[in-house]
Structure 1
């Protein structure tokens, strides 16, 4: 018997996982846009940047490397990883209750 956690039976757990994954997706998308030097005047790029600034506001300038690409990956990647980790952990706890 598999001990895999299933979120389909609990709506609250599913909502938490979806929100955490969307937050991580937005942050990951911004990292991709920044690394590829996307046009910041574009509406999509601008919206993703604004959302990522809000989502990663607590980690702004946490890392201050000289290499801009590394600074972007760390300052936006850490929140993305934490949102997924904490979101899935919280959803698993809710599911077990």
Structure 2
């Protein structure tokens, strides 16, 4: 693997994160529950990780501000425009995923 200096590595990771946010923004039809089922993370998780990264650096970033960065708009606005109710199939798949995680942990 190519090694980069720390600043370059950080810039590359930041660019990849921005691209991920752009990709999610371009695919608003992909619901958070779909992401949770397939990848075990969602837009809200990204928001929490962003908030935690700020906190690790002694910076203040509240959850609503972090979600606005990830969603590209206030969460309540995004939710009203793009979030759909979870289907029974999605809920069942999510519960199965959670049960699978729980069984692996024990």
TM range (shorter): 0.3 to 0.5
Work out which structure has the larger RCO, using CA pairs closer than 8 Å and 6 or more positions apart in sequence.
1
TM-score for both structures, normalised by structure 1: 0.37
